[in-house]
Amino acid sequence: MARLPPAQAEQPTKPLLCTLAGLPSERPPMWLMRQAGRYLPEYRATRAQAGSFLDLCYNPALAAEVTLQPIRRFGFDAAILFADILLVPQALGQGLAFKENEGPVLDAIRAVGELARLDPKGIHKRLEPVYEAVSRIKGELPPDCTLIGFAGAPWTVATYMLEGRGSSDHAAAKTWAFGNPRGLDTLMDILVQATTDYLDRQIVAGAEVVQLFDTWAGVLPEAEFRRYCIEPVRRIIAVLKQKHPQVPVIAFPRGAGALYEGYAAATGADAIGLDYTVPLAWARDHLWNKTPVQGNLDPRLLVVGGQAMAEAVQRLLRSFPGRNHIFNLGHGIVPETPVRHVEELVRLVKGTETAV
């Protein structure tokens, strides 16, 4: 058999990697944020077996198992590592617990002096089971399925570290941003280093793509968005690109609104995740023509299902035809989602050709 010239030999074959490389496709590759989770009975069973959510995150065999459950059931084009964005603060030395029906609770950082206790060099000792989960998943992945590693973006992780819990107004983090920007810069430096090292190790263990979740990017005014959302993400991607130029980075600055424009160029992200409020026609003209986009079906439509979901899916597929689109939700799946609606969604996306 004739050998392929090097350029062709290096072309990706997995659907998600092809789309991230800008290649055309018959249908968009698909996966769903939070695809491993409480809406799946097999997830609930494995989580009960693990004991608690954090025990599940730190158990490589069980974390690999829940990562693969939605792949077996739905045949998604990507598996996302099962872990949580708050493992990084815990690895830095901050107390973390997940309380039933309450979400995460951390020992809130109240003063700049407390930042000295965070140790970015020591994180791998605690995070080793996550890297082991990555390599186990990689070994069991179907051949066309891509493994996505992830971390929280520094700003979003900082909101939890400073507030001590989820918050509706992000008062603590915004008070640092406006009142103590040098202090917040110090925390950003720590998180940039820890997050870069964490993602580097996930890639070394087998992650083929990484995603940065900036869930709370949408709560900052423009100047602070540039300083605390764009700049730290840019620094992380710059180092990852030096070490692993072939590994695509997806960034999800949820709620960025008009600041989505220029975000990919400013951060160096290869693709951008769109939240469900981003207008499709605007995204098509301002983002999709330059950069692959991921999203953005409202997760609540997946709960409702039926005609409402089917129409929204068709609108989405028609808006981004033929290339540069990764089918996904505009935020994570919610626990009350019926499994049969996810099955229907997969049929709608896989059964529809969107050739240009």
Residues acting as catalytic residues:
34, 38, 47, 84, 160
Nearest residue (CB) to ligand CP3, 52 versus 314: 52
Query: Is residue 213 at the binding interface for ligand CP3, with CB under 6 A as the rule?
Result: yes
Number of amino acids touching ligand CP3 (CB under 6 A): 20
Q: CA geometry: angle at 209 spanning 207 and 291, to 5°?
A: 175
CB 337, min distance to ligand CP3, A: 12
Query: Is residue 196 at the binding interface for ligand CP3, with CB under 6 A as the rule?
Result: no
Which of 65, 77, 84, 197 lies at the binding interface for ligand CP3 (CB under 6 A)? 84
CB 130, min distance to ligand CP3, A: 11
CB 6, min distance to ligand CP3, A: 35
Choices 27-35, 119-127, 139-147, 311-319; region in contact with ligand CP3 by CB under 6 A? 27-35
Choices 11-19, 32-40, 224-232, 320-328; region in contact with ligand CP3 by CB under 6 A? 32-40
Which residues are paired to 297 by β-bridges? 329
- Write the burial class of residue 73 (CB in 10 Å: 0-12 exposed, 13-18 middle, 19+ buried): middle
Which of 33, 96, 106, 217 lies at the binding interface for ligand CP3 (CB under 6 A)? 33
Choices 83-91, 117-125, 196-204, 348-356; region in contact with ligand CP3 by CB under 6 A? 83-91
Choices 5-13, 79-87, 182-190, 201-209; region in contact with ligand CP3 by CB under 6 A? 79-87
Which of 82, 176, 225, 263 lies at the binding interface for ligand CP3 (CB under 6 A)? 82
Binding to ligand CP3 (CB under 6 A): which residues in 43-62? 47, 53
Task: Please identify the residue of the shown chain whose CB is closest to the bound ligand CP3.
Answer: 215
Rounded distance, CA 78 to CA 15, Å?
Answer: 9
Query: Is residue 38 at the binding interface for ligand CP3, with CB under 6 A as the rule?
Result: yes
Nearest residue (CB) to ligand CP3, 160 versus 288: 160
Binding to ligand CP3 (CB under 6 A): which residues in 89-128? 103-104
Q: Which amino acid is it at 294?
A: Q
Question: Is the CB of residue 297 less than 8 Å from the CB of residue 329?
Answer: yes
Rounded distance, CA 257 to CA 271, Å?
Answer: 16
Q: Which amino acid is it at 282?
A: W
Nearest residue (CB) to ligand CP3, 25 versus 98: 98
Distances (CA, A) of 150 to 82, 86, 211: 9, 11, 5
Rounded distance, CA 177 to CA 304, Å?
Answer: 38
Rounded distance, CA 139 to CA 133, Å?
Answer: 10
Nearest residue (CB) to ligand CP3, 16 versus 33: 33
Which of 12, 129, 166, 181 lies at the binding interface for ligand CP3 (CB under 6 A)? 166
Q: Contact letters (x/-) for ligand CP3, 325-344, by CB under 6 A?
A: -------x------------
CB crowding 196-222: b at 16 or more within 10 Å, else e: bbbbbbbbebbbbbbbbbbbbbbbbee
Give the position of tokens 């069991």. 140
**Residues that bind ligand CP3 in the complex, under the rule CB under 6 A:** 33-38, 47, 53, 80, 82, 84-86, 103-104, 150, 166, 213, 215, 332
